[in-house]
Amino acid sequence: MAQHLPILPIILPLFAAVLIPLFGRIRVQYAWFFSVGATGFSFLCSSWLLSQVMTGRRVRYFLGNWEPPWGIEYVVDYLSGFVLVIISFMAFVVTVYSWKSVEKEIPKEKVGLFYAVFMLLVTGLLGIVITGDIFNLYVFLEISALSGYVLIAMGGKREALMASYNYLILGTIGATFILLGIGYLYMVTGSLNMADLATLLPPLYENKVVLTGFAFLVVGLCIKVALFPFHIWLPNAYTYAPSVVGTFMAATATKVSAYALVRIMFTVFSPGFDFKMVPVTEILFYLGMAAMLVGPVLAISQTDIRRMLAYSSVGQIGYIVLGISLGNQTGMVGGLVHLLNHALMKGGLFLVVGAIIYKTGITQISELKGMGKRMPLSMAAFTVSALSMIGVPLTVGFVSKWYLGVGALQAGKWIALPIILLSSLLTAVYFWRIIENVYFKGAQGQESGRQREEGPPGMVVPTLGVASLCLVFGVFAFIPVSIAELAAQMLLGKT
Amino acid sequence: MGRGNVIIRFIAAKFIPFIQLFGLYVIMHGEAGPGGGFQGGVILGASMILYGLVFGFEAVRKTYSQKAGDILSSVGVLLYAGIGLLTLLIGGHFLEYRVLPLGTPQFSSHIGILGIEIGVGITVASVMTILFFEMARRKS
Amino acid sequence: MEFILAKYNYWIYIFLMMIGFYAMIAKKNLVKKIIGMNVFQTAVFLFYISISKVTGGTAPIVWEYARQYDNPLPHVLILTAIVVSVSTTAVALALISRIYESYGHIEEDKILSQQK
Amino acid sequence: MVESSVPFYTLLVSLIAIPFIGLSGKSPNLRESWTLIASVIKILMVLSMVPDVLEGKTIYTHLGSILPGLDIAFRVDALGMIFAVPASLLWLITSMYSIGYMRSLNEHDQTRYYIFFSVAISATLGIAFSANVFTLFLFYEILTLSTYPLVIHQQTQESLQAGRRYLTYLLGTSFAFLLTAVFLTYHTAGTLEFSRQGILTGKTSDLMVTLIFILFLAGTTKAGLVPLHSWLPAAMVAPTPVSALLHAVAVVKAGVFTIVRISLDIFGIDLLRDVGLGMGLVYFSSFTVIVASLVALRQDNLKRRLAYSTISQLAYVVLGVALLTPGGIYGSTLQIVVHAFGKITLFFCAGAIYVAAHKTKVSELNGIGKKMPLTMIAFTIGAFSMIGVPLTGGFISKWYLLMGAIEAHHIFAIGVLIISTILNAAYFLPIIHAAFLKDLPDREEPRIQEAPPWMIGPILVTAVGTILLFVAPSFFMKIAGLVVGSLNGGSS
């Protein structure tokens, strides 16, 4: 059975997605149980896969036992194992957390549908990560995107509909570009398997068709990643989605697209191609830095806390892209570790916001006064995550920043260093506004007046768990970093 | 609704069984020639839509309730995934039909693919129908 | 001229694609955008199908005249892509109908003016 | 070199106390006794390391490394000790004083206050004991963040405003410049570990060294060097014990200590001299000394006057190090201790005046010596120490600073020291004059009206301490001697 593990993380949520509409009719709670079970096992399988990979073995799985390049292949290597664990972990945490929040935000008759689609989203995201087939990647990308559109539209406000629609239009443009790029590559190589493409492509690097295909792939993925200036779909989508969906997508969706970008750039194509033959990393470098500045600046001007976090995501994506584009191992490690770190930080922040909305319905920053006393545990988690985002030492945020900074210096790209630090400062500005409101404003002399309104344990425990991981991986940073280092070696090792 | 021309109603009534039969044929034929679950499913779904257009949605709902549609769409996927899981449990890879214990590997493959196609067909047909009726139900 | 004629399939698909792309970006009507999206996607499907053609090939079915046959794989891929496209369209139309219910418009600028 | 975990436990003590403080928020007596117990244990632990340090040994703890090159490690040497001993001693005294102050004024959120107080002192000792730039940076940030809630304790619009400035200056510059400097140091030197010979020697161009040095200076805003000083007067909105802590024990001193540490152990005296950075630093700090004193002259708010005095006094420390002579560094190290005792006395007095008489302005202090004789005598001692009058500790440090300047044949520095002494006298003596020799305003009757004993006690202790530093300075002089001795290729 052990050799079938690679398929399990994908089909468990898929099965759940199918079974939930059937059993959810009997009792709504079953939907939650199935989801938790599926994501939980998915996480266990992913962790097991990662541990397998860490022994130095690449795990491959042929669907239907059709050998590549004919059949579809699932590959788990350092990189995909790492991302797989991140995604399935966040899926598990968010699902556990979701019960109360969904109960409140989604009409009862739609809860079953909600969980079914949510599981499809998880399936799609995990599929993107694990697949070794470039067309399969497109299909999973669309599965996740479609379920994303549906989930966002379930947000209560009518703005959610327009947000979902705009996301749909831009997402489809991106996906179609990707499809077109895949077509170009297929046209000259006749293969869709990533590993196979990697051996077939190098002699064709001068070919104009290959270059065009590459360009379409990168642009399409940049839209999916929401890299500045393709980020316009993101803020509304995260703001108006149901809080569970906003949390999960903020923590994982763009990361997975970033993973796909890395895959295309470094596995299908090679570092030599990216850095020497086309100016793609150069462009990504500057776009990443632009995102790092624009995101926080826009975040500062927001009054809605979720929209602020969404713009902050735009900035954080810049870090990941910057790390990828630096072209040395340190920078790459920074970018890859930030996949995990940002998932934890942003996940934690959105989880807290979800709890606040559940408990009080507050979405405006100015209304958060005195929240530090009303929801002390949640706000503690928020503070830890926020400090992480700023990049205070001993939190995960510092680890990414350190690697990115050192990587930038090693690459001789000095300009990146002040940008990274400036971005941290801007991040500090918009988070400090909240922390000041939460702890130090209003409610003077009401030391015992206001009673506690902490969220239910089902929400608080996952939140605290994620927030404490921000600290754990900030102190024991060698754990994710060592995996990311192996992954970076693998990606950059080929010439 | 449903008050269409008598010719249309007569012809539709006579045609729908044949359309459905053809849909089934396309599904069953999928593993050996042009056809398959998608195409067959769409044809089946189209027959339901035609029925609805001509005789009215209430008529459709009588024979094919919304609940049935919802369940069928899940069942189709379940069939697909279930066969995949079955092959896993038997010891093959996911969707490796030839390990199914049905005599020769060729025959097993035939049956396996057929099962998959039927699953796809059910899902596609029911989803098509659901989509159409959900859209039509919204009288703006 | 030779250049244009020899690659006519690409010209067709690029032309269609640009029409669709224009409609997606420039049209204010939400439904027209979706129509544009369909044209846009179909153009890419056409591209796939056209590259699968082998000169003198027949349909990829085992029959007596089958010496050389077209590449069936792109067809299969596009079948999947069509399903994706249909689903996207379905989701989009469902969204539009709900947008119409809650805003009373399907013109983007009017909706945006309501959101303010 | 001695391997020992004591430095780490020393830090941990006040952190362990935090949950106890937090849980006993309902009964103030219990809460405050936790604080006091922790501070006593902390002092004992710090003192327990003194013998080793006096023998010239270094105590080293490697706690773990976050990433390759980023170790959390502690190293207790003479320089660290000279910061840690007064800091931990004065923390105990400040805690006692806080009890009196906070209770007299019936402040809100006292539990929060004591918790962050404890974090702040841990961070301060962390800075004193850090063995590399990363650990230093880490505790530097923790100190900033943990003192923020103390600064804005009033939670008024004004204090939030001041808090924002506090953070912008401290957090902002440390992230913008200090972290950049850390990055560049790591990039050029490949390590962040402190070393007596400096770690940048011969690694890079003079230009780069200058750049890194300037970044370090700009990033260490805590030192309050002009023109990056304005957070300090703004932070005077804090409760007085906090101001005392900020100035005398923790924040500003941590900044100055950081500059000293980095100058000596990252760059090294030789490198600074070769590149000519010492000279630059002399002029820079002299500028601060003079300007801050001039500004202090014009302040009417007592605490603000004291704040500018701090800026000026602590620039002495930087000045002394910048001379790059043994005498100068000797004087600087002593100045750290002496100023701590003197300035904390002054702030305590300011707090006592506020609690007992509700006065905050210098112009209101006429005749206050008749109402609060003990307080004002202590104030006088503190002020004399600031000026450098004999019989107070201030004389000793100023003497050695002057010796250092003479040793360096640095006429400019000598001039600065003399002028600033005159200025110090000019802004302190009028206060004393007004307090004792002028008449009380008509409405007030001259009866004794001192602050509560919890406040008077600490004031007297620190005042006596200031005098003791003149009478029996041998302990600190010995440590200072070790600091200087280790410069000449001594064991690190």
The pLDDT tens digits of the residues spanning C83-107 come to 899 889 989 988 898 888 888 888 8
Query: Do D172 and A393 lie within an 8 Å CB cutoff?
Result: no
Indicate whether this complex's ipTM tops 0.90.
no
Contact D241, D101 (CB under 8 A): yes
Residue of A nearest to C42 (CA): A176
pLDDT digit string, tens, across residues A232-257: 889 989 999 999 999 999 999 999 99
**Burial category of A16 from C-beta neighbours within 10 Å (exposed 0-12, middle 13-18, buried 19 and up):** buried
pLDDT of residue A121: 94
**Which residues numbered 3-42 in B keep a CB inside 8 Å of some CB on C?**
33-34, 38
- Which residue range(s) make up the domain with D267? 2-488
Please spell the DSSP secondary structure of D378-417, one letter per residue: HHHHHHHHHHT-TTSHHHHHHHHHHHHHHHTT-HHHHHHH
- Chains with 3 or more CB pairs closer than 8 angstroms to A? B, C, D
Instruction: Check residue A313 and give left, alpha or beta (phi > 0: left; psi -120 to 50: alpha).
Output: alpha
Q: Which of B71, B84, B93 sits opposite A65 (nearest CB)?
A: B93
Q: Write down the mean pLDDT value for chain C.
A: 84
Q: CA–CA separation, D46 vs D36, rounded Å?
A: 15
Place D491 in a pLDDT band, splitting at 50, 70 and 90.
very low
pLDDT of residue C9: 80
Contact A40, A98 (CB under 8 A): no
pLDDT of residue C92: 92
Q: CA–CA separation, A23 vs A11, rounded Å?
A: 18
Encode burial over A463-488: b for 16+ CB neighbours within 10 A, e otherwise.
bbbbbebbbebbbebbebbebbbbbb
Backbone angles phi, psi at A61, to 5 degrees: -145, 130
Single-letter residue type at D271: L
Strand partners for D65 = D71
Q: Are strands A59-62 and D2-3 parallel, antiparallel or unpaired?
A: unpaired
Closest by Cα among A223, A252, A267, A261 to A125: A252
pLDDT of residue A38: 93
Residue of B nearest to C99 (CA): B140
Query: Do A421 and D109 lie within an 8 Å CB cutoff?
Result: no
**Burial category of D409 from C-beta neighbours within 10 Å (exposed 0-12, middle 13-18, buried 19 and up):** exposed
Q: CA–CA separation, C37 vs A240, rounded Å?
A: 24
Taking contacts as CB-CB distances below 8 angstroms, the residues of chain C near A147 are: none
Residue of A nearest to D139 (CA): A393
**What letter would DSSP give residue D449?**
-
Percent pLDDT > 90 in chain D is 13
Residue D275 CB contacts under 8 Å (≥ 6 apart), including other chains: D206, D209, D210, D213
Contact D177, D215 (CB under 8 A): yes
pLDDT in tens, chain A (495 residues): 567 788 888 888 988 888 888 887 778 888 899 899 999 999 999 999 999 888 877 888 888 777 777 788 888 989 999 999 999 999 999 999 998 888 888 888 888 889 999 999 999 999 999 998 999 999 999 999 999 999 999 887 888 999 999 999 999 999 999 999 999 999 888 888 888 898 888 888 888 889 999 999 999 999 999 998 888 889 989 999 999 999 999 999 999 999 999 999 998 988 888 888 888 888 999 999 999 999 999 999 999 999 999 999 999 999 999 999 988 889 999 999 999 999 999 999 999 999 998 888 888 888 888 888 888 888 999 999 999 999 888 899 999 999 999 999 998 888 899 999 999 999 998 998 888 888 877 654 444 445 677 888 888 999 999 999 999 998 888 889 999 999 998 888 754
Taking contacts as CB-CB distances below 8 angstroms, the residues of chain C near B138 are: 97, 101
Q: From residue A411, give the alpha-carbon distance in Å to each of A407, D203, D207.
A: 6, 18, 20
Query: Do B140 and C97 lie within an 8 Å CB cutoff?
Result: yes
- Chains with 3 or more CB pairs closer than 8 angstroms to C? A, B
pLDDT at D490 over 70: no
Q: Is D145 on the interface with A (CB under 8 A)?
A: yes
Residue of D nearest to A476 (CA): D66
Q: Å from A286 to nearest chain D CA?
A: 20
Contact A252, A225 (CB under 8 A): no
Taking contacts as CB-CB distances below 8 angstroms, the residues of chain D near A296 are: none
Q: CA–CA separation, A50 vs A63, rounded Å?
A: 20
Q: CA–CA separation, B11 vs A186, rounded Å?
A: 46
Taking contacts as CB-CB distances below 8 angstroms, the residues of chain B near C93 are: 135
Percent pLDDT > 70 in chain D is 99
pLDDT digit string, tens, across residues B35-45: 788 888 999 99
Tokens 């039969």, residue?
B21
Q: From residue D31, give the alpha-carbon distance in Å to each of D99, D110, D111, D124.
A: 10, 10, 8, 22
Q: Å from C106 to nearest chain B CA?
A: 12
Q: Å from B121 to nearest chain A CA?
A: 16
Query: Do A21 and B93 lie within an 8 Å CB cutoff?
Result: no
Taking contacts as CB-CB distances below 8 angstroms, the residues of chain A near C47 are: 180, 183
**Which residues numbered 65-94 in C keep a CB inside 8 Å of some CB on A?**
74, 77, 80-81, 84, 87-88, 91-92
Taking contacts as CB-CB distances below 8 angstroms, the residues of chain C near B31 are: none
Q: Which of A4, A15, A21 sits opposite B81 (nearest CB)?
A: A15
Q: Is B140 on the interface with C (CB under 8 A)?
A: yes
Taking contacts as CB-CB distances below 8 angstroms, the residues of chain A near D138 are: 393-394
Closest by Cα among A281, A261, A320, A270 to A129: A261
Contact A143, A124 (CB under 8 A): yes
Domain ranges of chain A: 279-495
Q: Write down the mean pLDDT value for chain A.
A: 88
Contact D73, D7 (CB under 8 A): no
Helix axes D393-407, D453-471, angle to 10 degrees: 40
Please spell the DSSP secondary structure of A363-405, one letter per residue: -BGGGGTTHHHHSHHHHHHHHHHHHHHHT-TTSHHHHHHHHHH
Structure token pair of residue A88: 């399935």
Query: Do C83 and B38 lie within an 8 Å CB cutoff?
Result: yes
Contact D79, D261 (CB under 8 A): yes
Residue A458 CB contacts under 8 Å (≥ 6 apart), including other chains: A96, A97, A99, A100
Q: If you compute the radius of gyration of chain B from its CA atoms, what whole number of angstroms results?
A: 18
Structure token pair of residue B68: 């049935």
Q: Is D67 on the interface with A (CB under 8 A)?
A: yes
Strand order in the sheet with D59-67: D2-3, D59-67, D70-76
Q: Which of A18, A25, A61 sits opposite B81 (nearest CB)?
A: A18
Residue A354 CB contacts under 8 Å (≥ 6 apart), including other chains: A97, A101, A243, A244, A246, A247, A459
pLDDT of residue B3: 57
Contact D288, D217 (CB under 8 A): no
Strand partners for A62 = A73
Query: Do D109 and A447 lie within an 8 Å CB cutoff?
Result: yes
Structure token pair of residue D394: 């201030």
pLDDT of residue B140: 42
- 3-state percent helix, strand, coil for chain C, nearest multiple of 5: 75, 5, 20
Residue of C nearest to B130 (CA): C90
Chain centroid to Cα C87, Å, comes to 13
Residue of B nearest to A20 (CA): B74
Single-letter residue type at C49: I
Query: Do C79 and B38 lie within an 8 Å CB cutoff?
Result: yes
Residue B3 CB contacts under 8 Å (≥ 6 apart), including other chains: none
The count of structural domains within chain D is 1
Q: CA–CA separation, C90 vs A137, rounded Å?
A: 22
Q: CA–CA separation, D56 vs D38, rounded Å?
A: 28
Taking contacts as CB-CB distances below 8 angstroms, the residues of chain B near C61 are: 33-34
Q: Is D48 on the interface with A (CB under 8 A)?
A: no
Measured at the CA of D260, the angle between CA D254 and CA D262, to 5 degrees, comes to: 100
Q: Å from B135 to nearest chain C CA?
A: 7
CB atoms within 10 A of CB D80: 27
- Chains with 3 or more CB pairs closer than 8 angstroms to D? A
Residue A433 CB contacts under 8 Å (≥ 6 apart), including other chains: A300, A365
Q: Which of B77, B81, B94 sits opposite A64 (nearest CB)?
A: B94
Q: CA–CA separation, B52 vs A320, rounded Å?
A: 52
